[in-house]
Structure 1
Amino acid sequence: MRAARLRHFGGPEVLRVEEVPWPAPGGDEVLVRVAASSVNATDLALRAGGLGPLAARQLPLTVGFDVCGEVVACGPRVTAFRPGERVYALLGLRAGGSAEYVTVRQGRAALAPRMVPAVQAAAVPLAALTALQALRAQGGLQPRRTGQRPRVLVYGAAGGIGSFAVGLARVLGALVTGVARPEKHAFVQAMGADEVLAPADLDWAQTGPWDVVLDTPPALSFAAVRPALGERGVLVSTRPLPTRLGDAAAMLPRPGPHPRLATMHTAERGLDLAFLARLIEGGELRVPVDRVFALDDIAAAHRYAEGDEVRGKVVVAVAEG
């Protein structure tokens, strides 16, 4: 089968489409004929060597953490899916989505949203799961029908995670402010933001109080954001671990209500993907696809995804046509 491979770290030019053996499903895995994958910031970091020594020990590897395609075979312990069903999934650290076939553990997959093209469904898993888990698990947002609406600020609202976060925060009943470059304000408003600010116009001492600030690049420090957080407000960073001493201190337990920092490790959770599929099918959540590239153009897809013009997600169509 054909797969986009990485043999050493570097710029987009290090990616090559090669012939590799088919994978075989075992245990609770399904074998998926891939229709599309997508490019996330994690893919860019992996290719550039930014995911640490563990990734280096796995070289050569196939890139792509998101996948959408058709189940063609099942391992002996699979109970959730059968051949012919279309699924989407977030793969584990070994990636592998930018290939014609990939194996996925059934707990990491869900039925893909109906009546949505594969190139759209493939844009969902990593970015939307990160946004959903950041807002619900770390930010404490839950759907509410009455009462005061929580205030949420999404920093980096035109990116993959940020654009999904805008839509999901609105679904969860929040008043949403997006922060993005001025030329992307119309896009962020279309994703559901109640207001949009430019980064240069954001004054933490004068804005807020925010119940949740979601930092998607991630680029913010807790010390800078703290004056704008409410009494129980939280800055949620998509960085798995704090890199500043002050940020680490902000995560230590303290008595009573106080602003806090939370960090993210996205879980490959099929139940969350099923929830997202229902929102997409019901028209409550938009899937923001910017551009679609062919598998042979994987280097160009990475190069475009690293640029400043992206609005939403960059997708790689694996199946021809």
Structure 2
Amino acid sequence: MRRGWLITRRGPPRGYAAGMKAIAFRRYGGPEVLEPMELPEPKVGPDWVLIRAKAASVNPVDWKVREGGLDALIPAHFPVVPGWDVAGVVERVGPAVTGLRPGEEVVAYNRQDHLQWGTYAELVAAPLRTVAPAPSAATWEQAGALPLAGLTAYQALVERLEVRAGETVLVHAASGGVGRMAVQIARVLGAEVIGTAGGRNHERLRELGATPVTYGDGLVDRVRALRPDGVDAVLDLAGGRALEDSPEVVRDRFRITSVVDPGVLDMGGQYLFVRPDREHLTRLAEWVDEGHLQIDVGATLPLAEAAEAQRVQEAGEVQGKVVLTI
């Protein structure tokens, strides 16, 4: 195998201590509430997989969860281990799991129905529906950065917007983690892409196949200069003024999808909250291996520095994904 070793056991190794190191928080708050903990090994249900983590991506939702921003939607059981992205090696599988065995390299978008057992940990228990084979062409850090960003872009473009070859898609915040995935996936689908971003990110967007435009005042005029009849679809990853301008540049308001502002529904568009999907994640990994998708990692930090990693991600101090190595 590319990165590691293959084992065949379905139970824990001899001498294994039922515990793990993790980063967790006991209450909502700022980065200071994150602390290293020794926690019990998470339980593995009949159709679950236990993953020995190698890398976990840091996403904006992680610090929003830490601050209590999802408390009205998802119940929390403290202490909470944050994180929804992970790449690693299957440690063992539940008795009902088929198609995966210990030793295989996998990625997962491990969003569950409650907050407790996340991915900032040595061991991650994930439902089989969230797990897919890892791309063999990616490093652990790149693989760990794929699930949430890739699935968000894929589901928005394929399921919500139904982008087709020959169309033009406007992606707001195209230089972010989801945005870069969206640019590339839209290109795989055969679409042309206009991406909003600050000037320092324009060259990277060109490399990925998009036509960059600067966001802010005058955006409508800049987009209309490129597509006088309007674009076919808009993927909003920014909200605010960018979303407000979107109806003026798209032909059909229903083909505006936002992943940050449910207010898009009031203007006739669609809202997306990404969901785990094993088939979609498998397809994304295949596109990485086929050379269609590049995963930009901007910074890597050890698990013990998770608080700093979240701070860096929130501040937007790096270009590309922030990843924890475990």
TM superposition score normalised by structure 1:
0.88
Between the aligned partners of 2:67 and 2:21, the Cα distance in structure 1 is 22
Partner of 1:184: 201
Q: Is the 8 A contact 1:28 1:75 kept in 2?
A: yes
Deviations 1:258-316 (A, max 9, x none): xxx11102120010011001110011110111111100111110011011333221101
Q: CA deviation at 1:221?
A: 6.7
Between the aligned partners of 2:195 and 2:242, the Cα distance in structure 1 is 18
The alignment yields a C-alpha RMSD, in angstroms, of 1.8
Label 1:249 to 1:24 Cα distance change in 2 as closer, same or farther (>3 A). closer
Among 146, 166, 177, the alignment partner of 1:160 is 177
Q: Is the 8 A contact 1:154 1:176 kept in 2?
A: yes
Partner of 2:246: 225
Partner of 2:65: 46
Q: Is the 8 A contact 1:211 1:232 kept in 2?
A: no
Among 262, 282, 293, the alignment partner of 2:270 is 262
Between the aligned partners of 2:75 and 2:218, the Cα distance in structure 1 is 39
Q: CA deviation at 1:222?
A: 5.6
Among 135, 139, 156, the alignment partner of 1:117 is 139
Partner of 2:4: none
- Equivalent residue runs for 1:77-96 within 5 Å: 77-93=96-112, 94=115, 96=118
Deviations 1:35-62 (A, max 9, x none): 0101111112111221124556422210
1:302 equivalenced with 2:310 (yes/no): yes
Q: Which moved more, 1:102-111 or 1:213-222?
A: 213-222
Partner of 1:242: 262
Gaps of 5+ in 2: 1-19
1:212 equivalenced with 2:220 (yes/no): no
Among 42, 47, 67, the alignment partner of 2:86 is 67
1:25 equivalenced with 2:47 (yes/no): no
Q: CA deviation at 1:205?
A: 5.3
Partner of 2:148: 126
Among 95, 98, 105, the alignment partner of 2:127 is 105
Q: Secondary structure of the equivalent of 2:266?
A: helix
Q: CA deviation at 1:250?
A: 3.1
Label 1:42 to 1:284 Cα distance change in 2 as closer, same or farther (>3 A). same
Q: Is the 8 A contact 2:153 2:178 kept in 1?
A: yes
TM superposition score normalised by structure 2:
0.87
Deviations 1:209-251 (A, max 9, x none): 1111111133357653212111476111003x623xxx43333
Among 197, 200, 205, the alignment partner of 2:213 is 197
Partner of 2:322: 314
For these two proteins, the number of residue pairs brought into alignment is 299
Label 1:222 to 1:302 Cα distance change in 2 as closer, same or farther (>3 A). closer
Label 1:226 to 1:75 Cα distance change in 2 as closer, same or farther (>3 A). same
Q: Is the 8 A contact 2:215 2:242 kept in 1?
A: no
Partner of 2:163: 141
Q: Is the 8 A contact 1:187 1:311 kept in 2?
A: no
Q: Is the 8 A contact 2:253 2:267 kept in 1?
A: no
Label 1:221 to 1:184 Cα distance change in 2 as closer, same or farther (>3 A). closer
- Of all paired residues, the percent bearing the same amino acid is 36
Label 1:62 to 1:248 Cα distance change in 2 as closer, same or farther (>3 A). same
Q: CA deviation at 1:153?
A: 1.0
Between the aligned partners of 2:153 and 2:218, the Cα distance in structure 1 is 21
Between the aligned partners of 1:114 and 1:273, the Cα distance in structure 2 is 14
Q: Is the 8 A contact 2:110 2:126 kept in 1?
A: yes
Between the aligned partners of 1:162 and 1:107, the Cα distance in structure 2 is 25
Gaps of 5+ in 1: 252-260
Label 1:107 to 1:234 Cα distance change in 2 as closer, same or farther (>3 A). same
Q: Is the 8 A contact 1:46 1:55 kept in 2?
A: no
Partner amino acid, structure 2, of 1:71:
V
Between the aligned partners of 1:168 and 1:185, the Cα distance in structure 2 is 18
